[in-house]
Structure 1
Amino acid sequence: MNTKYLTKASLIAGIYLVLVLIQIPMGNLTFGPIQLRIAEGLTLLPLVETAAIPGLFVGCLVANFLLTPYSAFGLIDILGGSLVTLIAAYITSKMPNRILGALPPILLNGFIVSIWVSYFTNIPYWYTVLGISVGETASVAIFGTLILSVYNKTIEHMQNQ
């Protein structure tokens, strides 16, 4: 790995963490059976930037660790949620377009994270899947599209200079 790659991965991890942290005062929609993490918009970046794969993993890991007081899920969410993010980011990086690239984070978070969230909250699994999947879809569709557009324009601008 080179310095440029590590720098990009670190920046993406930092941005993920900041986006989760700024949501806390607005009400806690970053954990629980309904999740709307603005930071999940970054999950489309692996389509165009491989450094986003470790960046998203580390950002999610640190965010979940630091925000443990806001979550009743503990170590399973810190490690499990972060591994789901890593796997989703890797699969997204192999997708041919933005529509298919959105599916791994939406489906994996919806179906896998819901396992422990449902268990710890005593909310039925399928309601939890629905709540997490809808929030993930909104994050990826709205924020992800915006983030990907800004990223692509920035890269294009840098190449034209």
Structure 2
Amino acid sequence: MKIDTKTIAFNAIIAAVYAALTILLAPISYGSIQMRISEIMVFLAFYNKKYIPGLVLGCLIANIPSPLGLWDICFGTFATLVAVIAINKLPNRYLGALAGAIANGLIVGLELAINFPLGKNMFVNYGLNAGYVFIGELVILVIGAFVFGILEKNKQVENLLEA
């Protein structure tokens, strides 16, 4: 993979947009029930792995002001890394949406189960938290897969995505 000034600049823009969207929509971006609109951007990794650093960096920056602080910086950023790598390797966006939702549900679900117990039973607590994250993420990612499917029909957008 060629790393040039254009790639670095594009990754900086991706990170900034991801972080800004997440922080601006903080009421729905953080907590035990979350729907990060910025997660739609993870489909950039489907088209080109060179966008992965910007997505992961954007997530890390977005998690700095999170109410869970270091927990979210570590768990959330790791979940995004796993999700974008999976999305990049899968043959279609909809499988990518499922993989991203599973990765976030399992990893962020654990983080939230530790910090937002929803019951005394550890397995129920984890299951509920993982389930809430999975559902919220799946909704956002299916919408994202659909949106990117429409966008890629535009030749200029397709060229930009795969550049």
TM-score bin (small chain): 0.7 to 0.9
Where 2:29 maps in the other structure, the secondary structure is coil
**Residue segments in structure 1 that go unaligned for 5+ positions in a row:** none
How far residue 118 of structure 1 moved from its aligned partner, in angstroms, is 1.1
Q: Deviations over 1:57-100 (max 9, x none)?
A: 000000101x23xx1x2212112211211121112111111111
Q: RCO greater where, 1 or 2, for CA within 8 Å and sep 6 or more?
A: 1
1: CA distance between counterparts of 2:72 and 2:20? 19
Sort the Cα spacing of 1:112 and 1:89 in 2 relative to 1 into closer, same or farther, 3 A: same
The answer to whether the 8 A contact 2:43-2:144 is kept is no
TM-score after normalising by structure 2: 0.83
1:99 equivalent to 2:103? Answer no
Superposed CA RMSD in Å reads 1.9
Paired residue type of 1:9: N
1:110 equivalent to 2:105? Answer yes
2: CA distance between counterparts of 1:76 and 1:49? 29
Which residue pairs with 2:139 in the alignment? 138
Which residue pairs with 2:121 in the alignment? none
Q: Deviations over 1:105-142 (max 9, x none)?
A: 10010011111201111121111111111110111111
The answer to whether the 8 A contact 2:13-2:54 is kept is yes
2: CA distance between counterparts of 1:155 and 1:139? 21
Q: Deviations over 1:15-35 (max 9, x none)?
A: 1112112213xxx12112211
**Residue segments in structure 2 that go unaligned for 5+ positions in a row:** 119-124
1: CA distance between counterparts of 2:114 and 2:25? 24
1: CA distance between counterparts of 2:158 and 2:40? 20
Matched-pair identity in %: 31
Where 2:110 maps in the other structure, the secondary structure is helix
The answer to whether the 8 A contact 1:95-1:101 is kept is yes
TM-score after normalising by structure 1: 0.84
Paired residue type of 1:21: I
- In the TM superposition, structure 1's runs of 4+ consecutive aligned residues that sit over 4 Å from their partners are none
2: CA distance between counterparts of 1:147 and 1:99? 11
1:76 equivalent to 2:43? Answer no
